[in-house]
Amino acid sequence: MVGIASGLVLLAVGLMLGYRFGRKYNQAAGVAMSQDERERVLQMLQELGAWTNEYSGSVSQYQTRLGELSNEVRVDAQSAQTAPKVIALLKQIMESNEQLQTRLESAERQLDKQTKQIESYLTEARTDALTGLHNRRAFDQKLDETFATFRKGGRSFALALIDIDHFKNFNDTHGHQVGDQVLQQVAKLLRLELDDAIIVARFGGEEFAILMNGPLQIAADKMNKVRKTMASHQIDLGGKPLSVTISVGVSEPRDDLVASPVVRRADEALYAAKNIGRNRVYYHDGKGPSLVGAPEVAKG
């Protein structure tokens, strides 16, 4: 009976620790942890293992001692020394249980702290600090996921690459602080105008990248509306209103085996928009870049 009870106790402890750690660790599944974070998680696992081993040893000792006391009772049922020994042993078991509970609560706090650190790492690793948008790393992962879904028969999507026109002039004329504010304001407008997009990200420098639902022509028309909104919107930087325009290239997946050709075609469309005169949207249908609207409309 004692062996079964102690076995159940150990099983309960193991399940409790496994559940608590597993629940916390699974929340961070798929996160690329740093070396320091991995070492910290391993250290906590080792600590938990040591605690369970120690408790296992304690239960084994208690089991042995209870067996000895049972034998004493069988030999001398009238012994006056047996009852105090049993009470003392039960007191030790209770104290051990209290210590174990304290350690489990401590482990829970440590796991909570570690989980928050991992979540913070995940956020920082995938967010552009200046604009608050997703960064290139997060975008590339989402593009691969979306493309894989498309290849398996899922719905199509469109990729838009956006470049702020003459951005270097903002930095050269007004300083890098103003340049940063321009990036922040453009990011804000893109987030508002494309709130139904799959992802809005800063692609690097003054470039942004958008994944949105297709088809291509509808996505291109939507990006042209965003371009017009941007052109008509003046950014107020401390009483100095600045006009900002963007050039956009849009593409969609076709018979591609990988996602890189989708990016290449969007980049070719963006290059055409910038090379023709900026402040316009081009889309690439697989044959070549085409302007959205007539030139005079594109400038409006």
Catalytic annotation, residues? 206
For residues 297 and 185, is the Cβ–Cβ distance under 8 A? no
Indicate the length of the chain as a whole number: 300
Three-class secondary structure of residue 205 per DSSP: coil
**Rounded distance between C-alpha atoms, residue 28 and residue 260, angstroms:** 28
- Measuring CA to CA, which residue among 281, 290, 252 is closest to residue 165? 281
Q: Is the peptide bond before 215 cis (omega within 30 degrees of 0)?
A: yes
Three-class secondary structure of residue 79 per DSSP: coil
**Rounded distance between C-alpha atoms, residue 210 and residue 227, angstroms:** 13
**Rounded distance between C-alpha atoms, residue 6 and residue 164, angstroms:** 69
DSSP code at position 131: T
**Sign of the CA dihedral running 66, 70, 76, 82:** positive
